[in-house]
A and B are shown apart, each in its own frame.
Chain A
Amino acid sequence: MPRWLNWAWLVPAAFLLTFLAYPLGVLGSHVVDPAGWTRLFASNTWHVVPLALAQALTSTVLAVIVGLPIANVVTRYRFRGRALAQAAVTVPFVLPTVVVALAFRSLLGPGVPQGFFLVVLAHAYVNLAVVVRIVGSNWAQHDPDYENTARTLGATRWAAFRTITLPMLRPAIASSASVVFVFSFTSLGIVLLLGDASTRTLESQILRQTSVLLDFPGAAATAVVQLVLVTAVLVAGMVASRRTARRRLRPIALRPLPASTAGRVAVIATAAFTFVVVAAPVAALVVTSFRAAGQWSLAWWTGVSSVDAGTSRIGSPLSALATSIGYALVCALVACVVGGLAAVAVLTHGRTRLISLLAIVPLGISSATLGLGTLLAFGRPPVDLRGSGLLVPIAHSLVAVPLVVAVVAPALLSADSRTMAVAATLGARPTRAFLTAYGAILRVVMLASAGLACAVSLGEFGAASFLARAGSPTVPVQIVRLLSRPGEQSYGIAAVLAVVLVALTLVLVLLVDRLGAGRPSSVTGAA
């Protein structure tokens, strides 16, 4: 190893200390302010907690109920289009939440009133991938002879599923459910766009306390309450998933379609249902962007560069796009440097467990908490970075860094370190030897990481809603602002922006997936 690599950890450590620990510390200092807690107890924040719990619980149950049959079909049976169905399930998860919200509005129209039902539906849609991925990977290794044994003992197909398969999948289900619960509990974009008074989350409460009531101590106290609840759920999920009974696993091998006609129809119907469910909201969104005054039109698309939609406070949609892309590139650069060096540090110090720990960090610290902390630390005198345009990309890189580490570290660990020794014996200096061994892998995974970081930044709404300046919103912030104003034009332009965001995100995710496909630890699997 080149000597300088021993110090690689300094950069990520300094970055996290400055932009994560310090803001959280500042947030913490506000928490000490008893006024915040007094106001918290007096305010209606406590009414929000049970509402958010009920909403998140319902969303989780729905995601699990819909996700289980899909996981069963797309990870276990061999049929044409299976890989595509499996990839399709991932799409809602990578779409920006604001886009998903708008897509659901477009799909269901004004017929379905905003509120609990719509929010739960959108949350289940987004989180389907979590259930399918986590439970599916477990289910794929499940030995079907357990069920066969139960069947020979007189269990019907349903009884075998209920008494054997389901309990054996329980740890995986619990683990995925805890993640879905946390995502739904800390949801912001979907709640703002699809919810009503009954679906408020602590996250939206923090935003309200900060931007409407200007009650920073109260918001900080709310953030702490949320952090405690979220941590408790995640820990419970981890404990439940650890309690995995020892059992025989089999190598992942797809099985042929069931012999019975009913079985075949069930599998094919589930696969078809998957495509329809995933595609319908996105298709509705695209259609909306081409409909004006009840007929097909390019009005919204041609208007993106010129329209300032009547008020000077909202810039042109195109300028928001430019802002977002700029932020995404800065975020990618920062996240790749910081995350890449962190991964190298994992390699040199061998702290593999650190990876899994790091990957959970953005889950535990919600984007509103992150946004609020950053705002309090760097958004006011004496350190006011708001004018620099750096706050948003920095907050975004905090979300992206753990993902970059999760992609890069396993790839580096999978490379054969002996290549470095061989290069060294052939006369290569340490740095040259390191690059000989890891250079090729690094080029691929860093590109994949950059794509991932860009996708994260383009779609992120929570932190940006705190940090983006009024004059230069990011695309998701712009979409929310447009939708808060009446008129078909605002809606149409928002749909155009959302479609562009969908296209950009899908291109990036496809790129990441392609780059990751060649690697032993698939990028999408890690992300």
Chain B
Amino acid sequence: MTGPRLATQSLSIGYLGRRVASDITLAVAPAEVVAIVGPSGSGKSTLLATIAGVVPALGGSVIIEGRDVTATAIHERGVGLVFQEPLLFPHLSVMDNVTYGLRRQRAPKDVAQARAIELLDWLGLEGYGPRNVEELSGGQAQRVALARALAPRPAVLLLDEPFSALDSDLRQRLAGDVARMLRHEGVSAIHVTHDLAEATDMSDRVIAFADFAHSADRLQGGSLR
């Protein structure tokens, strides 16, 4: 594929009827990892939520693999999303969490399981499949969340400060693992963080959120708080 894996054109984002930023134009090449840095509350998470379709765009468009998906339902966009917290499905085992997306695609059970084992092994979680997710440590849970997002081979992976809930030692180790994982999978990714060091370590390109997003004037919204 020649064009960008993901592109946004003049995208306006916001939530609860409040515009947060506008005119966001961005392109992510195949297998490229782009980091977006900016202070918390600047709208980075809203941008990811808008690309994923969790929050509707207020204007402009989102294009994934050449297809305009601005009006497409979340589950048909082919986007993986990892939040700050792992949000593992508590009633499912590690294996069932990781194979969740493949089961939605009606992949054969053995194929799904093989893929899950491959990812779990890669992330240093050999033999964790049958475990209850409540037994996992914070770092392990976040690894499982990453494996779950990668399993259905999304066109783009969106990482929303996935390490910020972990302590710094663990954060560094996990960031390294994830960076290797993304290269191995050849997946395009946007990694949102407020940690510049983490951003430069993990990504091919670092963008400051303020550089390409025109933050809406908060005062115009009528609320100073």
Tell me the A residues contacting B by CB distance below 8 Å: 143, 145-146, 148-157, 159-160, 163-164, 167-168, 170, 245-248, 256, 259
Contact flags B31-54 to A (C-beta < 8 A → 1, else 0): 000000000000000000100111
Query: Please, which residues of chain B bring their CB within 8 A of the CB of A150?
Result: 89, 100
Among residues of A, the one whose C-beta sits closest to the C-beta of B56 is A259
Select which of A148, A159, A246 is within 8 A of B104 by beta carbon: A159
Residue of B nearest to A244 (CB): B90
Sort A-B residue pairs by CB-CB distance and give the 3 closest, nearest first: A245-B90, A153-B101, A154-B104
Q: Do A152 and B90 touch across chains, with their CB atoms under 8 A apart?
A: no
**B64–chain A nearest beta-carbon distance, Å:** 12
Residues from chain B with a CB closer than 8 A to the CB of A168 are 89-91
- In whole angstroms, what is the CA distance A163 to B52 when docked? 20
Q: Which residue of B lies closest to A150 (CB)?
A: B100
The complex places the Cα of A366 from the Cα of B16 at a distance, in Å, of 48
Kindly state the separation between the CA atoms of A151 and B152 in the bound complex, as whole angstroms: 12
Docked-complex contact A154 and B105, CB < 8 angstroms: yes
Report 25 cross-chain contacts, Cβ distance below 8 Å, ordered by A residue.
A143-B87, A145-B54, A148-B74, A149-B81, A149-B148, A151-B54, A151-B74, A151-B75, A152-B54, A152-B77, A153-B80, A153-B100, A153-B101, A153-B148, A154-B76, A154-B101, A156-B75, A157-B75, A160-B75, A167-B91, A168-B90, A245-B91, A248-B85, A248-B87, A256-B17
Residues of A within 8 A of B148 (CB): 149, 153
Residue in A149, A168, A248, A259 with the greatest tally of chain B CB atoms within 10 Å: A149
Residues of A within 8 A of B83 (CB): 145, 149
- The secondary structure that dominates the A interface is helix
Please indicate the chain A residues that have their CB under 8 angstroms from the CB of B79 in the complex: 152
B204 adjacent to chain A (CB < 8 Å): no
User: Which chain A residue lies CB-closest to B151?
Assistant: A153
Chain B positions within 8 Å of A170 at CB level? 91
Closest to A151 in B: B74
Q: In this complex, what residue of A is CB-closest to B154?
A: A152
Taking the nearest CB of chain B, how far is it from the CB of A441, in angstroms?
32
Q: How large is the interface on B (under 10, 10 to 19, 20 to 34, 35 or more residues)?
A: 20 to 34
A435 to B120, CA, bound (A): 63
Q: How far is the CB of B46 from chain A (nearest CB, A)?
A: 13
Alpha-carbon gap, A150 to B56, bound state (A): 17
Q: Contact between B75 and A152 (Cβ–Cβ < 8 Å)? A: yes
In the complex, are the beta carbons of A246 and B134 less than 8 A apart? Answer: yes
Nearest CB to that of A164 among chain B residues?
B89
Chain B interface (Cβ within 8 Å of chain A)? 16-17, 49, 52-54, 56, 73-77, 79-81, 83, 85, 87, 89-91, 100-101, 104-105, 134, 148-149, 152, 154
Q: Is there an interface contact between A246 and B54, defined as CB atoms closer than 8 Å?
A: no
Chain B nearest Cβ from A155, distance in angstroms: 5
Distance (whole angstroms) from the CB of B157 to the closest CB of chain A: 10
The reply to whether B87 and A154 contact each other, CB–CB distance below 8 Å, is: no
From residue A146, how far is it (CB to closest CB) to chain B in Å?
6
| Residues from chain A with Cβ under 8 Å of B54 in the complex | 145, 148, 151-152
Closest Cβ–Cβ distance, residue A412 to chain B (whole Å): 35
Asked if B77 contacts A146 (CB within 8 A), the reply is no
Bound together, the chains give a CA A494 to CA B16 distance in angstroms of 51
- A428, B148: Cα distance in complex, Å: 64
Cα–Cα distance between A256 and B16 once the two chains are bound (Å): 7
- Return B30 CB to nearest CB of chain A, in Å: 19
- Please pick, from A152, A156, A167, A247, the residue contacting B81 in the complex, using a CB distance under 8 A: A152
Measured CB to CB, the closest approach of chain B to A100, in angstroms, equals: 36
- The distance from the CB of B167 to the nearest CB of chain A, in whole angstroms, is 18
What CA separation (Å) do A301 and B75 show in the bound complex? 61
CA distance A168 to B87 in the complex (A): 12
Closest to A259 in B: B56
